[in-house]
Amino acid sequence: MKLETDEKVINYIRRKIAEAGKIVAVLGIEMLVEGGGYDLDSNEETYRVEELYGYTPEDMLSTSFFNAKGERFFRFYKNEILTMEVKSTPAYDALLRLQAQGKLSAVICQNFHGIPQGIRFHKIIELNGNMNSNRCPHCSKLFDINYMRNAVGIPLCDNCKKTAVRPNIRLLGERVNAKLMTEAENACEEADVLLIMGKDMYDDRLEYSADPSRSQLKILFSQEKQLSDRKVDFVIQDEIQLFLPVVI
């Protein structure tokens, strides 16, 4: 299979991964898209959603929208988010190989869609929550994703009857859980290799900073030509599911 990345770079990254003791993977939008999901933040999708619902995904995935327009929120959420089924890709298999070698010290998940079924990472930090988990804000009863899918209109707690069940995901306007953020930052700080697998859906603030005494290789996977000023060693434009199995 043909990769666009220069062979020398591939060999260098392969060697660094082989030598590394601690590797951290940060899963972003590209991992979701390669697994069959879609990027709601792309121009195309934003336009489509706005045409269909009258609001952009960004508008609707916010706390204020959730609180003020529950019915519309759940129409969008059930049709567009809960229908995304995230499948495994060879990139996940490559990460599992790293885990089996004892090198994968953490997986930081920035998508709230969760990890494909059947994949188990020992250490996973879900910074933006997980849509498989849902809770009644009133009585704290937990509900699975099927309860949300099958509900007509707003999913109401069957215990309290009147309270809307809240997906355990972070909406725009909410802070990242501080404890999780610290855990993620500590994991990044200790990593020899950081695999940043796609952009963050909320584009925020995980700094990926390394302990200054440690030499760290940062690899960002991104199809975007125009990149922010994130300090990384390499930007890989190949698909993650094609590239990763070659270097791991």
Binding residue (CB under 5 A) for Zn ion from 139, 142, 149, 207: 139
> Which residue's structure tokens are 């327009």?
69
- Interface size with Zn ion, residues (CB under 5 A): 8
Does 3 help bind Zn ion (rule: CB under 5 A)?
no
Give the C-alpha separation, 173 to 112, whole Å: 15
CA-CA distances (angstroms) from residue 213 to 47, 103, 210?
46, 20, 8
What does the alpha-carbon distance between residue 174 and residue 170 come to, in Å, rounded to a whole number? 6
**Among 5-13, 29-37, 154-162, 214-222, which window interacts with Zn ion (CB under 5 A)?**
154-162
Q: What is the dihedral sign for C-alpha 207, 208, 211, 215? A: negative
Please select the residue that binds Zn ion; options are 27, 31, 104, 136, rule is CB under 5 A.
136
Closest to Zn ion by CB, 97 vs 141, is 141
Which stretch of DSSP H or E encloses residue 57?
helix 57-60
The single residue listed with the structure tokens 């121009």 is 43
Question: Is 166 an interacting residue with respect to Zn ion (CB under 5 A)?
Answer: no
Residues 168-187 that bind Zn ion (CB under 5 A): none
Contact string (CB under 5 A) for Zn ion, positions 85-124, x = contact: ----------------------------------------
Nearer to Zn ion, 73 or 243 (CB): 73
Closest to Zn ion by CB, 85 vs 144, is 144
How far apart are CB 164 and Zn ion at their closest, in Å? 10
159 forms part of the interface with Zn ion (CB under 5 A) = yes
| Residues in contact with 17: Cβ distance below 8 Å, sequence separation at least 6, in sequence order | 23, 98, 103, 193, 247, 248
Among residues 179, 135, 180, 133, the alpha carbon closest in space to that of 159 is found at 135
Q: Is 18 in the site for Zn ion (CB under 5 A)?
A: no
Residue 47: count other Cβ atoms within 10 Å of its Cβ.
11
Closest to Zn ion by CB, 62 vs 163, is 163
CB-nearer residue toward Zn ion: 69 or 138: 138
**Residues facing 143 on adjacent strands:** 134
What DSSP element (H or E) covers 58?
A: helix 57-60
Instruction: Give whichever of 160 and 235 is closer to Zn ion, judged by the CB atom.
Output: 160
164 interacts with Zn ion by CB under 5 A: no
- Shortest distance, position 163 Cβ to Zn ion, whole Å: 5
**Cα–Cα distance between 110 and 119 in angstroms, integer?**
16
Q: Which residues bind Zn ion (CB under 5 A)?
A: 136, 138-139, 141, 157, 159-160, 163
